[in-house]
Structure 1
Amino acid sequence: MLNRVILIGRLTQDPELRYTNSGTAVASFTLAVDRMRSGQSGERQTDFINIVVWQKQAEIVSQYLHKGRLAAVDGRLQIRSYDNREGQKVRVAEVVAETVRFLDRGPEGQQQNSGFGGGQPSTGGRPRTDYGSAPSFEDDPFADDSQTIDISEDDLPF
């Protein structure tokens, strides 16, 4: 079975950081993601997707991401339900993020292409990326446009 969601979009508001009773950080925000197709009248359609981030990532997201920032989220879809004040069962769909990457420049004009991560800013104004399992920007083989990959048509499976 596979439950994997990858999204790229802009934050609709600043992340909301909270802590559980046991002290675990949890941040939530909404990501506006454009659909690939336009509507019938040619207008672009957007989905607003709830994102939840836990632990150290939650603190870093609340510190570095703000309304309007472009971010990539890699995680899993979670459907949960609860009873509202009127006693009706409400179902909520949200993405639980495993990795969040900053895809645009921060307010100081410094590049924020970083996985999580956490900690204080390091050289270059990017958050440190030595926490968690996400590869750092420096380790990304596709980050440097000067590198090319030589693939012949015989190597393609189709």
Structure 2
Amino acid sequence: MINNVVLVGRMTRDAELRYTPTNQAVATFTLAVNRNFKNQAGEREADFINIVIWRQQAENLANWAKKGTLLGVTGRIQTRNYDNPQGQRVYVTEVVADSFQILESRATREGGSAGFDQSYQASPASTFGATNAPQTPNFGRDESPFGQTNPMDISDDDLPF
């Protein structure tokens, strides 16, 4: 049987970190995952998926990921049930995460910049016919990183082909 889940979404709130009576860390949070299509009003909808993560991963998540953080989560779907105080049976479906990965830099999460230009604009010489090929970021420089000289001053006679 296969029960694998891979999700990418944003945390809707900070993770709630608790400890079991045997001192095992467990964190719960909700991940908002966009759907691949838009509704009739032209708006993109999202699914809000409850996630549980255990042990060291739970502590790491609670320390490093906050509300709004873009996360990748791998795990499995689990269903369970319990009787609430009113005597009703409650069924719960959730993802039990095996691992997570933060998918954006701290600077991006905090709204700052890391000190370099993150725009990727293609130049005709580097795209080889593609219209939107990414190019190396500028890193705040408008001049050549080698100064005013061109270290690649090569004549056709120097080429082996």
Residues 51-130 of structure 1 mapped to structure 2, 5 A cutoff: 51-106=51-106, 109=107
Q: How is 1:128-143 mapped onto 2 (pairs within 5 angstroms)?
A: none
Which whole-Å CA distance do the structure 2 matches of 1:46 and 1:24 have between them? 31
* Paired position in structure 2 for 1:40: 40
Distance in 1 (alpha carbons) for counterparts of 2:108 and 2:40: 39
What amino acid does structure 2 have at the position aligned with 1:80? R
TM-score by length of 1: 0.67
Deviation sequence 1:64-121 (CA, Å, 0-9, x none): 0000000000000001111111111111111000110000122xx289xxxxxxxxxx
> What is the identity, as a one-letter code, of the residue corresponding to 2:24?
T
Structure 2: state its 5+ residue gaps.
110-134, 137-161
Task: Say whether residues 1:23 and 2:23 are aligned partners.
Answer: yes
- Counterparts of 1:3 and 1:41, CA distance in 2: 34
Q: For the aligned residues, what is the CA RMSD?
A: 1.8
Q: Which runs of 5+ in 1 are unaligned?
A: 112-144, 147-158
CA distance in 2, matches of 1:21, 1:3: 29
Aligned length: 111
Q: Cα deviation per residue 1:120-152 (whole Å; 9 max; x = unaligned)?
A: xxxxxxxxxxxxxxxxxxxxxxxxx99xxxxxx
| % same residue | 50
Given the two structures, how large is their TM-score scaled by the length of structure 2?
A: 0.66
Query: Which protein shows a greater Rg?
Result: 2
Task: Give me the whole-angstrom Cα distance separating, in 2, the residues matched to 1:72 and 1:61.
Answer: 12
